[in-house]
A and B are shown apart, each in its own frame.
Chain A
Amino acid sequence: MTEVKLIHAHDLVKAYPVADREFVALKNISLEIGKGEFTGLVGPSGSGKTTLLNVIGSLDIPSSGSVTVLDSKIEALTHKQAAQLRNLHIGFIFQTYNLLPVYTVAENVEFPLLLLGKSTDERKDMVAEALEWVGLTEKAEMRPAQLSGGESQRVAIARAMVKKPALVLADEPTANLDAKNSHHILQTMEKLNAELDTTFLFATHDEKVMQYMKRIISLEDGEVVKDEIK
């Protein structure tokens, strides 16, 4: 584990109102994740993996406790500051790829750069580089509907990585993929982790994914039950 702490959660609680009761999704989670880690949040459905990922990704706020990501206290961020944090430093990879259907592959990858206000030339170079990382240079002008599941997820990786974020959050990235594509995707991310020193945090219950993780944090009913470094 590296020295620099990218994520620091302390007594994190996340509760949702369900009917007239409260459902506690995360119970007093405390953890630290360092720069360059390749970590998996594992556990059965409903264990709180996605919720934890959402809070770390500043898509949600904790009910109590504290989460610091890249020196930003998530619970203290305004909506705009949270958006800025995501825009600048966090990349997301979703189970269902979440590509923008009306855009081409290149335009999808270019999207975060547009939000960052990069110039046309910069965007062009960075998109080309990202597509090269995932081996989709040839398919730059295709639409998501013309791609296979594996290709779509590689586009999503390129989109998450194009701005070279400090942190990439991947929620069940291989759940919709076959074994061959899953390995391909994970190898790509592993390579990017090594080359760019980007921190990857996965939420998964896929055994194939777990074998690539260097650290596995197990969750059960919203609690960390095990934290092991391979």
Chain B
Amino acid sequence: MRELELLIIGSGPAGLCAAISAASSGAKVLILERSFQPGGQLIKQTHMFFGSERQYASHRGVDIADILLRRAAEFGDRIELMLNATAVGFYEDNVVTVLKDEKEYFKIKAKSIICATGAFEKSLAFPNNDLPGIYGAGAVQTLMNVYGVRPGNRVLMVGAGNIGVIVSYQLMQAGIQVAAVLDAAPRIGAYLVHASKLARMGVPILCSHTIKEAIGTDCLEAAVVCRVDQRFRPIPGTERRFDVDVMCVSVGLSPLNELLAMRGAAMRYVPQLSGTVPLRTVDCETSIPGIYVAGDASGIEEASSAMAEGYLAGLCAAAGLGHVPEDYGARRQEYLGQLEDLRSGPVGDRIRAGMKLSAL
């Protein structure tokens, strides 16, 4: 069984920043990535990111992946990246079981572990939601922007959060029509600058609307939507039909952190963080000493926060292993300050409330 200092599970924005941060302190790091390419969801983000220059704001996500991978490569063999390697189990002696290339199965034991496993897309229950042509919005973004596959010709987007409006815009960039964007909430959840980009291209954004049913025999042919009242109950007689061959469901993400639950970390359901999350210190350490969490796995936020959390978790995990750099205090304050900046505005209200509930 291979034994090592620091294992990071996931090579998205949080995992890569954690690796860079820990390696710069002197730790030796192995990153497990289940996909055949590193970068997590960054590799399909063709839009410019928000935040400040410290989180590479106004760079495109796909380019941020390249920047982070180049920085990671500068540390030579202090950062090892293992692709096609899925962590499938996490045991109390800090043994992680790994399935590599879908055939090799082996164990890794690490002194410290950072879980940066990200999130998964939530689904929605409605009649015929299993028809071909109905996707998660993130899945369509992957199809288009990673694989160059056109998902269809005319799309109905269900969900007006950031992912819903960003993917709608990218669909239009790919020459695909967007019939409408709808959301059951009474107001748009996305940053309004993103939503305004769609509005000025003539895409209707329908708040207080929900999907009633999908129609089709072999694949999606149409969708019926209707208005909802303040308690999200459908209002009879308000049905509208959209002839579409693609529907994207973008109703939020859930933290992906079953490995931490399996390991026995204290978990709690926190609606403000969009699901069950591990309790954690301000330094991203879970209830188990030496086990850290960073990014969406600890609660759904933006990639900018995931990067800052990654840097913080990497710094603190390395310090816990004895790699305490001279500027430890200053770096820690810097990352905590970045997180505070990103979460301090009105859109951070929900996150701050959630962080209180998941605080150790």
A and B interact: no
